A and B are shown apart, each in its own frame.
Chain A
């Protein structure tokens, strides 16, 4: 109760706290993202007669996102508590709407058109899941320590994840939704044992899948679907350089040829038609090629700072609900950054994951900024004394 009072007092006195460090980091990443989107897309876009095409769209989505972020930041976050169930149902409905109304691009149907704006439903579902699980965990309270509570939190996002995987053919978003849930659950449970087991099971399943794929490939390659082929391409990208391993190999060429100091901003060769859609999921490889090892590490450090900042906010949140919201956002960003860089460096098999704030993609940057807005709103509740 003391916390509540303190924050109320603070607000009354107009000591509204704005986490400028977080804001600065996010603005930097969005700005840097736009520079890199322009750098990686302009050569190919120029050949089609419009060099700034991708930059303009990204700028538009970012401005929209920043406005939404400021609006959300100024709404007390408890406002969203009542939307927990609607957020879940909304996500499900949006995914189902994909079946009749979805818009396809690059072999996958992931977008809905709302007027002139295309919306990637997976981004909505990630945000929806953070809102839903925060509320659910708060409602369960100590009940989460029971196995029943544990399984409820773990399994409630599963239908959404499954639908994302099967309907929108988007395994990476499904993985991210589940990862967010596991991280939120981890933070809200006192024990480690079950998570350690969960981690072991995940690893074992992954190893079994890889083993199965390699065995099947040795017997008869034709039976494998494209994900199986991606696992083979991950193990030996140069053997599959013409098809499944193409993107990976091109990304490795970009990263490797960047060297320690890079070729200089704008000087990437791989973006000139060799690495297709360089502004999307593989943008980190262009960053490495142009800005070198230092540039690549700098970007990772910026993300680490962002996650650190989110940790601080989560740990000083006025209440559990706020903390969980921030942990969800933190998990979302952390998992996506890690998976993206791991894919680009061929540390794990290729799966389409964008780099938060930097990769081209309006829905992604908009919803990430809304999530940052939520975080800022939680941060506003922190009394300065707590820091």
Chain B
């Protein structure tokens, strides 16, 4: 009996021990729980939030591009994206009927998406806001209408190659849209929504928004009136001369601001993937498509180089005057050709110009005169002027893909090469390079940087940031510059450029007709570079006609283009200047 009692006793005490052991362990676990739920709570709450929240970004409105008159060249329009959320649809048939009708889609297409089990299914994007509003007004469960921005160019093809366009994510693809991406794009905002593991939004949890910051508006020097008129002239010329391409560049030689940049054929910025013949680029193979599109988007004014021909005599003349190799009153004799070493280089006038001063030689665009000047300057000096004028560098224009100058190496230049360089052949430069170099020669010797962007202004207008561009002084002396203005005015007044003269205005300029490579192909580039007023140039224009049919002389077909342009824009610019002061 005692033993039994004893046994009972230790049973009891051991059962109690078991209980207290369990209690001890459970208290330990309570401690662990306190650690997790009090001290680690913040950490795990944050982690859990990250897990539960889905981030949807809100696109920022892209900054607009605005011309010198305040006209909007690139804008945003509101478009809608229509999606369905499977789990929230109550009347699938109604949803299918409405979306099929309003969006003009096939019923099969819509049905497949509506009936698909997924968290959110996109039906159509880039839907007009009006259509989006109509769909929203049906108030269908499970149908989402999200507003979004799409880039929109009110003038379609105008200045297409300069402005550029944007891609699917509203990012710049070419042109100013690329270069000023940082200013234009703004900062996307976010909507944080709480979702379950499959991404279904949990309505009762609400949402958190971080508002987007709109991009800055870009104010550019391009003037829509000048651009429009230059485009008209270029198109007209291209048609009447059956030319391949016509480029017109208009800039302010004093500060480098570009007023117009035309390179027809242009393309429709609102449909940048539609080829000129109306075909969709996506019907071609990837490689072919990219080739065709790149050709269409190519900006001849900056992306391509050409042999400038006689317009380059401006540079040879400036180098000759600056180096003292020639004076305006120096006399020359042109028998119609000139011998350089064993080579006979012909003048465009078969019978020759006879005796002429340097000024007259320039007016006649006489090759022997310029070859003589070039040879007098000599290779090394000529090359150093080439560098000094900035011809070996890019202009630094604020557009992507500027091509560099294609020039002989100095050690490869012999007398024959020097002779051809002197009248603008055997090397290639871009139109913008020629216009910029000519600007610095006639503006008193300041090498300006050609540019479009003037300032970037925040969307609310409070913060304006002006752009400055490098200017290099004393590229040529003021005296040489003045002489050049005088000579080039004579070219237009009485010389080969007289078709560029505008009644009532002093215009200076130079013509050029260059045969394209290979020689003897019968293809020419006719061009004319003009500026006005000749004594104080405020505007400089360069017109280049590629492969015209019939008459191909720059003086006869390119000079009239610039004349017509000047006839219209010179009074306009004067008026504008009145308004400014």
In the complex, the answer to whether A256 meets B18 with C-beta atoms within 8 Å is no
Which residues of chain B are near A258, meaning CB under 8 Å? 37, 41
* B519 interface residue per 8 A CB criterion: no
In the complex, the answer to whether B18 meets A296 with C-beta atoms within 8 Å is no
Q: How far is the CB of A256 from chain B (nearest CB, A)?
A: 2
Q: Which of B18, B40, B194 has the most CB of A within 10 A?
A: B18
Q: A256-B43, A272-B197, A273-B198 are in contact. Are A315 and B48 (CB under 8 A)?
A: no
Q: How far is the CA of A110 from the CA of B149 in the complex (A)?
A: 58
Which residues of chain A are near B8, meaning CB under 8 Å? 320
Q: Which of B15, B23, B37, B47 contacts A292 (CB 8 A)?
A: B37
* B7 interface residue per 8 A CB criterion: yes
* B471 interface residue per 8 A CB criterion: no
In the complex, the answer to whether B19 meets A307 with C-beta atoms within 8 Å is yes
Q: A190-B10, A293-B37, A338-B22 are in contact. Are A253 and B15 (CB under 8 A)?
A: no
Q: Which of B12, B40, B45, B196 contacts A43 (CB 8 A)?
A: B196
Contact with B along A168-212 (1 / 0, CB 8 A): 000000000000000100111110000000000000000000000
Q: Which of A47, A189, A274, A327 contacts B51 (CB 8 A)?
A: A274
Q: How far is the CA of A271 from the CA of B194 in the complex (A)?
A: 13
Q: How far is the CA of A323 from the CA of B194 in the complex (A)?
A: 53
Q: A187-B15, A256-B41, A259-B37 are in contact. Are A269 and B26 (CB under 8 A)?
A: no
At the interface, is chain A mostly helix, strand, loop or mixed? Answer: helix
In the complex, the answer to whether A259 meets B45 with C-beta atoms within 8 Å is yes
Give the B interface residue count (CB, 8 A).
40
Task: Give the nearest-CB partner of A284 in chain B.
Answer: B33
Q: How far is the CA of A327 from the CA of B16 in the complex (A)?
A: 10
Q: A269-B48, A311-B15 are in contact. Are A297 and B25 (CB under 8 A)?
A: no
In the complex, the answer to whether A341 meets B29 with C-beta atoms within 8 Å is yes
* A303 interface residue per 8 A CB criterion: yes
8 Å CB interface, A46-99 against B: 47
Q: A187-B11, A252-B44, A338-B25 are in contact. Are A327 and B197 (CB under 8 A)?
A: no
In the complex, the answer to whether A254 meets B33 with C-beta atoms within 8 Å is no
In the complex, the answer to whether A331 meets B48 with C-beta atoms within 8 Å is no
In the complex, the answer to whether A331 meets B18 with C-beta atoms within 8 Å is yes
Q: A253-B48, A260-B37, A300-B30 are in contact. Are A274 and B10 (CB under 8 A)?
A: no
* A308 interface residue per 8 A CB criterion: yes
In the complex, the answer to whether A274 meets B52 with C-beta atoms within 8 Å is yes
Which residues of chain B are near A351, meaning CB under 8 Å? none
Q: Which of A274, A288, A307, A345 contacts B22 (CB 8 A)?
A: A307
Q: Which of B49, B196, B205 has the most CB of A within 10 A?
A: B196
Contact with B along A318-343 (1 / 0, CB 8 A): 00100100010011001001100110
Q: How far is the CA of A297 from the CA of B28 in the complex (A)?
A: 11
Q: How far is the CA of A307 from the CA of B18 in the complex (A)?
A: 10
Q: How far is the CA of A273 from the CA of B33 in the complex (A)?
A: 23
Task: Give the nearest-CB partner of A252 in chain B.
Answer: B44
Q: How far is the CA of A174 from the CA of B196 in the complex (A)?
A: 36
Q: A274-B197, A338-B22 are in contact. Are A296 and B15 (CB under 8 A)?
A: no
* B14 interface residue per 8 A CB criterion: yes
In the complex, the answer to whether A347 meets B29 with C-beta atoms within 8 Å is yes
8 Å CB interface, A229-276 against B: 252-260, 269-270, 272-274
In the complex, the answer to whether A327 meets B18 with C-beta atoms within 8 Å is yes
* A108 interface residue per 8 A CB criterion: no
* B131 interface residue per 8 A CB criterion: no
8 Å CB interface, B404-424 against A: none
In the complex, the answer to whether A269 meets B19 with C-beta atoms within 8 Å is no
Which residues of chain B are near A186, meaning CB under 8 Å? 14, 17-18
In the complex, the answer to whether A288 meets B33 with C-beta atoms within 8 Å is yes
* B38 interface residue per 8 A CB criterion: yes
* A124 interface residue per 8 A CB criterion: no
Q: A253-B48, A288-B37 are in contact. Are A272 and B202 (CB under 8 A)?
A: yes
Which residues of chain A are near B30, meaning CB under 8 Å? 297, 300
* A304 interface residue per 8 A CB criterion: yes
In the complex, the answer to whether A345 meets B36 with C-beta atoms within 8 Å is yes
Q: Which of B17, B22, B36, B87 contacts A256 (CB 8 A)?
A: B36
In the complex, the answer to whether B18 meets A330 with C-beta atoms within 8 Å is yes
8 Å CB interface, B21-70 against A: 22-23, 25-26, 29-30, 32-34, 36-38, 40-41, 43-45, 47-49, 51-52
Task: Give the nearest-CB partner of A313 in chain B.
Answer: B15
Q: How far is the CB of B287 from chain A (nearest CB, A)?
A: 40
Which residues of chain B are near A256, meaning CB under 8 Å? 36-37, 40-41, 43-45, 47-48
Q: How far is the CA of A330 from the CA of B18 in the complex (A)?
A: 9
Q: Which residues of B contact A (CB under 8 A)?
A: 7-8, 10-12, 14-19, 22-23, 25-26, 29-30, 32-34, 36-38, 40-41, 43-45, 47-49, 51-52, 87, 194, 196-198, 202, 205
List 16 A–B pairs whose Cβ atoms lie within 8 Å, in order of A's numbering: A188-B14, A256-B36, A256-B40, A256-B48, A257-B41, A257-B47, A272-B196, A288-B33, A300-B30, A307-B22, A311-B16, A315-B11, A327-B18, A330-B15, A334-B22, A338-B25
Q: A297-B33, A314-B15, A330-B19 are in contact. List 13 more A-B contacts (CB 8 A).
A: A183-B18, A186-B18, A190-B7, A254-B48, A256-B37, A258-B37, A269-B196, A274-B51, A274-B52, A288-B37, A293-B38, A308-B23, A311-B19
List 9 tightest A-B contacts by C-beta distance, closest first: A256-B44, A273-B197, A272-B196, A257-B48, A253-B48, A311-B19, A293-B37, A334-B22, A257-B45
